[in-house]
Amino acid sequence: MNHKPEPDTTLDPAPWSASPPRGAQLHGGAPTEQLQMFATPQTTRTTDDYWTPAWLFDALGLTFDLDVACPPEGPPHTPCKAFYTQADNGLTQPWYGRVWMNPPFSNTNPWAQKFAHHANGLALTVVGKSKWCDTFFATADAMLLLPQSMKFDQGGIFLPTALWAYGKDNADALRNSKIGRVR
């Protein structure tokens, strides 16, 4: 499959089209001059908090350079070298290397657009009728529908979910994971 989507000129300009905020840093330092995605910092779990279970990462056998949508306390299971939390606002930060993305399911569109353009990593998303999902179907190198019985750390979810791979090594890891049938 082709993993370089054509730019969609019908969409609003993406927040990542401009250079990243000056002074923005990876988690570990306070970002400066950062656009805020949410009005208040996250202090409790929300309905968007569906953290990926450890068994999934064990099955994939990958280490990620960056988790772009990490829980506030840091990655509970994600084998990653760096991460962005809600406070860092991963949408406005630069993405690099192999990315892990489990975005807020209530607003997947901007995350999915940026992920498809980055085109290197694995994404765990809900599946539904949406333009971004059509883009993933057309451009991802591999895709796996997860079983309805899959449980996140916080429990099950009523929506179907999938893993999407961009990049040959990521697609191979998904195929070799034995999680399910890869398309």
Write the pLDDT tens digit of every residue in 54-111.
999 999 999 999 999 988 888 889 999 999 998 899 999 999 999 999 998 888 999 9
For residue 41, being part of any structural domain is answered with: no
Output the six-digit token pair for 38. Answer: 């949410």
For residue 32, being part of any structural domain is answered with: no
HSE, side-chain direction, 13 A CA sphere, residue 6:
4
Query: How many domains does the chain fold into?
Result: 1
Distance of CA 28 to the CA centre of its chain: 20
Burial of 145 (0-12, 13-18, 19+ CB in 10 A): middle
Asked if pLDDT for residue 169 goes beyond 80, the answer is yes
Place of tokens 């990926």: 52
Answer for the pair 157, 50: CB distance below 8 angstroms, yes or no.
Answer: yes
Asked if pLDDT for residue 39 goes beyond 50, the answer is no
- Choose among 34, 13, 39: nearest CA to 114: 13
Output the six-digit token pair for 86. Answer: 């809600």
Answer for the pair 121, 98: CB distance below 8 angstroms, yes or no.
Answer: yes
Written as one string, the DSSP assignment of 68-99 is EEE-TT--SS--BS-EEETTT-TTTS---SSE
pTM of the model: 0.73
In this structure, of 114-118, 145-149, 162-166, 179-183, the range with the lowest mean pLDDT score is 145-149
Q: Where residue 156 sits, what CATH number does that domain have?
A: 3.40.50
CA distance 1 to 63: 23
Pick the more confident residue, 167 or 149.
Answer: 167
For residue 115, being part of any structural domain is answered with: yes
Output the six-digit token pair for 141. Answer: 């190198």
Give the three-class secondary structure for 154: coil
For residue 36, being part of any structural domain is answered with: no
For residue 102, being part of any structural domain is answered with: yes
Pick the more confident residue, 66 or 16.
Answer: 66
CA distance 95 to 110: 14
* Percent of the chain predicted with pLDDT > 70: 68
* pLDDT for position 34: 33
* pLDDT for position 80: 96
For residue 48, being part of any structural domain is answered with: no
> In Å, what is the CA distance from 151 to each residue of 72, 76, 106?
20, 15, 18
pLDDT category at 158 given cuts 50, 70, 90 is: low
What residue numbers bound the domain in which 157 lies? 54-176
pLDDT category at 152 given cuts 50, 70, 90 is: low
* pLDDT for position 42: 45
Give the three-class secondary structure for 144: strand
Write the pLDDT tens digit of every residue in 106-135.
889 999 999 999 999 999 998 988 999 999
For residue 108, being part of any structural domain is answered with: yes
For residue 65, being part of any structural domain is answered with: yes
Answer for the pair 161, 179: CB distance below 8 angstroms, yes or no.
Answer: no
